[in-house]
Amino acid sequence: MKFKSIIRKTLYVGAFLAGFTGFAQNNQPNIIFVFPDQMRGQAMGFENEEFVETPNLDKFKQESVNFSQAIANYPVCSPTRAMVFSGIHPLKNKVILNCNNKSEKLGSELPKDVLCWSDILAKNGYDLGYIGKWHLDSPRSPYIKCKNNQGDTKWNEWCSPDRRHGFKYWHAYGTYDYHLHPMYWDTDATRDEFKIYDEWGPTHEATKTIDYIENKNGKYRENEKPFALVVSINPPHTPYDKVPQKYKDVYKDLDLEKLCDRPNIPAKGTKWGDYYRKHIKNYYACITGVDEQFGRILRALKDKGIEDNTIIVFTSDHGNCIGIHERNAKNNWYEEAMRVPFMVKVPGITNGKDLDYQLGSLDIYPTLLGLIGMSDKIPSNLKGIDYTPAITGKGKQKTVDHQWYTRMQYGSKVNGVRGIRDNRYTFVITNEKGKDQEVFLFDRRKDPYQLDNIASKNKKKVRQMTTLLKKDLNKFEDPFIIK
């Protein structure tokens, strides 16, 4: 395969748009929500920024609405997942850190009584399924005997049926990173009845998704009901080398230094420069593999004849630096960690539209309900925005001029990092125990790679952004201290 730029085109469908306000509840569409882990928003072929092969996503982009400024507000696995499903801030949904045995002591897991969008769909006639990574339950002793629980930090846990928030069909795990030999609990499996498969995780999950779509003999769902299926794929999460050789071969002959020709990638011979060079081809290989499996899912919808009554979403929980800015992963305020893909295809409505609205993790819940005509079911306590008008082109769209950023510090609600991001600036204040407060301000229009912290030279802008940040802290009842 060769790296190709994509010609972006927008097809006008005004006649259909004119009358669209969401699907009527007597003709509910299906939902397929595809959710790979740690896939940064820049790493898709149509972005023309990285040398990564994503032919299915490139084509999908031409058929969908693409939110080019979508971000993860708290770019780490469990907190983002909890926000996506609950629609509420980490301080309210309790998932303030990644779910593991250490954060379990702080109660960091998604409560049973939180009303998720999946709960609402289940109560309103939908059949729901979940395939893949969940990561919203804290491991408990005696710990599941599996590889992700062998070290001091335990990661993997079974999700009991009463904690699945309306998802009836279940083929999932907490978090398990052995991608070539993944493990899953089926719907009726007990805690000790998981299975390990000798197949790359995304391939296995795409096959299960296709089985769910085909639903032979009504095995997976009730045919007369609309369905909503989450496909939560672990790669391109670490370890990057756990990917079939055929995807590695796509990149084997590419000049490695050409893949590193961006000014925020550390130099060859440095710790993080060498780390990036070690992993970037395999990271791209994982993405290309995920892209192929996404294509299989799209074809299954078409073959089943339900493509024209299915809303399809492709997004990720956060990105990943892989050494950029001397950061090995996520949970930071750089674009490679914060910016995520978010594309949504609504039958007969969306064709290649790019939007630069500030869409964040909390906006997904109300938008999904709005798209299926259930805006009246959106809980009044949600702070996110329903972007249905922007997607459909019908109705007045409420907007915000920025999104917020957070990073919690273990055991403290007043420490950590907070910030805001708009279409031009990224602004962050740190207040971490044992460290002096720092202020960061990046003008991404002039400095897209975030190399120049201009905070000390722009006092007026810092004051303006601090005022906005304080308003956000008040909005979310966040006691973070700005010194």
Query: Distance (Å, rounded) from C-alpha 127 to C-alpha 454?
Result: 51
Query: Distance (Å, rounded) from C-alpha 419 to C-alpha 434?
Result: 20
DSSP 236-252: TSSPTT-S-HHHHTTTT
**Tell me, what's the pLDDT at 138?**
95
Distances (CA, A) of 124 to 24, 33, 83, 121, 473: 13, 18, 21, 5, 34
Q: What's the CATH fold of domain 403-475?
A: Arylsulfatase, C-terminal domain (3.30.1120)
SS3 300: helix
Six token digits for residue 90: 């980490």
Per CATH, 14-392 and 403-475 having the same topology is answered no
Distances (CA, A) of 331 to 116, 354, 432: 24, 27, 14
Report the alpha-carbon angle 222-227-228, nearest 5: 145
Q: What are the residues whose beta carbons fall under 8 Å from the beta carbon of 150, sequence distance 6 or more? A: none
**Tell me, what's the pLDDT at 317?**
98
Six token digits for residue 459: 């006092």
Confidence of residue 3 (pLDDT cuts 50, 70, 90): very low
Query: Distance (Å, rounded) from C-alpha 92 to C-alpha 365?
Result: 15
Query: Distance (Å, rounded) from C-alpha 148 to C-alpha 201?
Result: 15
Whether residue 347 contacts residue 330, with contact meaning beta carbons closer than 8 Å, is answered with no
**Nearest-10 crossing angle of helices 271-304, 201-214:** 20
**235 CA to centre of own chain:** 12
Distances (CA, A) of 232 to 79, 82, 98, 204, 295: 15, 13, 16, 12, 15
pLDDT above 80: residue 254: yes
**Tell me, what's the pLDDT at 25?**
52
Query: Distance (Å, rounded) from C-alpha 347 to C-alpha 65?
Result: 11
**Tell me, what's the pLDDT at 90?**
97
pLDDT tens, 8-28? 333 323 333 333 445 555 579
Pick the CATH number of 14-392 from 3.40.50.150, 3.40.720.10, 3.80.10.10, 1.10.10.10: 3.40.720.10
Tell me if the pTM is above 0.85.
yes
**305 CA to centre of own chain:** 28
Domain layout of the chain by residue ranges: 14-392, 403-475
Q: What are the residues whose beta carbons fall under 8 Å from the beta carbon of 232, sequence distance 6 or more? A: 35, 36, 37, 130, 131, 132, 133, 134, 172, 205
The whole-number average pLDDT for the span 423-437 is 94
Tell me, what amino acid is at 141?
S
The whole-number average pLDDT for the span 362-371 is 98
pLDDT tens, 116-130? 999 999 999 999 999
Please list the residues that pair with 310 across neighbouring strands: 30
Whether residue 345 contacts residue 30, with contact meaning beta carbons closer than 8 Å, is answered with no
Confidence of residue 351 (pLDDT cuts 50, 70, 90): confident
Q: 93 φ, ψ to 5°? A: -90, 0
DSSP 369-427: HHHTT-GGGS-TT--S---HHHHHT-SPPP--S-EEEEEEETTEEEEEEEEEE-SSEEE
Pairing status of strand 425-431 against strand 412-421 = antiparallel
Any idea which residue has 């593999």 for tokens? 289
User: Measuring CA to CA, which residue among 36, 378, 414 is closest to residue 231?
Assistant: 36
Q: Does residue 351 come out as left (phi exceeding 0), alpha (psi in the -120 to 50 range) or beta?
A: beta
**Tell me, what's the pLDDT at 2?**
39
Six token digits for residue 309: 């009554």
Higher pLDDT, 351 or 311: 311
Q: Does residue 254 come out as left (phi exceeding 0), alpha (psi in the -120 to 50 range) or beta?
A: beta
**Tell me, what's the pLDDT at 92?**
97
Tell me, what amino acid is at 420?
I
SS3 32: strand
Whether residue 359 contacts residue 67, with contact meaning beta carbons closer than 8 Å, is answered with yes
pLDDT tens, 168-221? 999 999 999 999 999 999 999 999 999 999 999 999 999 999 999 999 999 999
CA torsion, ordered 442, 331, 335, 60, to nearest 10 deg: -160
Chain mean pLDDT for the chain: 93
